[in-house]
Amino acid sequence: MTLTDLFLYGTLRHVPLLERVLGRACPEAEPAQLPDHAVYRADGQPFPLICPEPGGRAEGLLLRGLDADAVDRLDFYEAGFGYDLQDVRVETADGPAAARVYMPRPGQWQAAEPWDLDGWVARWGAITLGAAEEVMARRGSAAAADMGHLLPFFRARAWSHEMARQPAPQTLRSTMTTEDVEILRPRPGFDGFFRIRATELRHRLFGGGWSEPMPRECFVAYDVSLVLPYDPRSDHVLLIEQVRFGPIHRGDPAPWVLEPVAGLIDAGETPEAAALREAREEADLEIDRLLPITRAYASPGYSTEFFNCFLGLCDLSGHDRGLGGLDTEHEDIRHHAIPFERAMELVESGEINAAPLVMMILWLATRREGLLASA
């Protein structure tokens, strides 16, 4: 059996991540250095790259005797970053040693600042663990090369999990927590851009005791920021229109839907930053001020999707009937800057049939008088 000695210099030095990728306890490792190399953060990315640098010394760990399954798992994980194994000689306390290392493909990434493992663990460790779990769940059913374009979405889903750690108040509702829910066993689900998690579970009952075991599925989506642009000087709101796949698959003959500006919150991004970014991308708008409307689940009975809703105060002059969206995300968006009263008519007629937009317009109705006076 062929065994491999591997030099690790980046995120896989974080033991919890290495164990998640390997699917087993971390093997013993020894400190090592790769001469004439240095480690930097990849520009615009939450992971490192190693670069030739005369006189440099890249710090890392040497894992000896990895079997073929371990190397195959690491190959699958690293392929999503565009990294391949190369032969090198590293320095250890016992002298030089032959090893292999994952090197970025030429031109794949550009170097930013020197790599800081502790800083990365603090900001990106938990997010990367969640993303790695999704990557490794697809080993054997998806091509390693496909992981690269999915990684930002895996990170966004993991970030949603981190943001969920601060619950809403529990003043009226029960003080029970997830400690009062027991997952009995997983069942086959689905892993794609979205996930369907299937389990058998039980939970504590209001009257005491436990429920009977029950099979349940959950649609695992993302946290989203939504913005209703509003110009209090002209008393206009901006709606966007685009084709939506839910109405298509429901059988709705008119699947073009009026909605607020909306988009996924990227990993590490605040809901406010995502709202401002989406306003620029979808509507070519610079928001002057964000007012929080609500933070709420879209459909908690079966979905993790979570909405962060804002009113965006801005100047809407010249924004009616424009087109927007990103070609890279296959967006084809039309803008409608309309008087607030017209928006209320569309709510009452049912032409606005996206619940978040209805809620946001009705919220604006309760604050509109004050906003108009201040303008």
Using pLDDT thresholds of 50, 70 and 90, give the confidence band for residue 324. Answer: low
Pick the catalytic residue: 217, 329, 348, 351?
329
Q: Could you tell me the CA-to-CA distances from 329 to 2, 263, 264, 270 in Å, in that order? A: 44, 11, 12, 21
What pLDDT was estimated at residue 41?
Answer: 95
Percent of the chain clearing pLDDT 90 (strictly above): 81
| Known active-site residue 329 | yes
What is the rounded distance in angstroms from the CA atom of residue 126 to the CA atom of residue 42?
Answer: 19
pLDDT digits (tens, 9 = 90+) for 153-191: 999 999 999 999 988 999 999 999 999 999 999 888 888
Please check whether residue 36 is in contact with residue 93, taking contact to mean a CB–CB distance below 8 angstroms: no
The mean pLDDT value of the chain amounts to 92
Using pLDDT thresholds of 50, 70 and 90, give the confidence band for residue 318. Answer: confident
Using pLDDT thresholds of 50, 70 and 90, give the confidence band for residue 326. Answer: low
Give the Cβ contact number of residue 54 at 10 Å.
8
Please check whether residue 228 is in contact with residue 312, taking contact to mean a CB–CB distance below 8 angstroms: yes
Task: Identify the CA nearest to 326 among candidates 257, 374, 277.
Answer: 277
What is the rounded distance in angstroms from the CA atom of residue 253 to the CA atom of residue 122?
Answer: 49
Outline where DSSP puts E strands in 139-213.
181-191, 195-203
Is the overall model pTM greater than 0.85, yes or no? yes
What is the rounded distance in angstroms from the CA atom of residue 69 to the CA atom of residue 185?
Answer: 26
pLDDT digits (tens, 9 = 90+) for 54-88: 999 999 999 998 999 999 999 999 998 989 999 99
pLDDT digits (tens, 9 = 90+) for 259-297: 999 999 999 999 999 999 999 998 889 999 999 999 999
Residue 47 has pLDDT above 90, yes or no: yes
pLDDT digits (tens, 9 = 90+) for 190-227: 887 788 999 999 999 999 999 999 999 999 999 999 99
DSSP 178: G
Using pLDDT thresholds of 50, 70 and 90, give the confidence band for residue 330. Answer: low
* Residue-wise burial string across 302-327, b where 16 or more C-beta atoms lie within 10 A, e elsewhere: eebbbbbbbbbbbebeebeebebbee
What pLDDT was estimated at residue 296?
Answer: 96
Mean pLDDT across 302-308: 95
Percent of the chain clearing pLDDT 70 (strictly above): 97
Residue 247 has pLDDT above 80, yes or no: yes
Using pLDDT thresholds of 50, 70 and 90, give the confidence band for residue 3. Answer: confident
What's the one-letter identity of residue 107? G
Give the Cβ contact number of residue 124 at 10 Å.
22
pLDDT digits (tens, 9 = 90+) for 339-353: 999 999 999 999 999
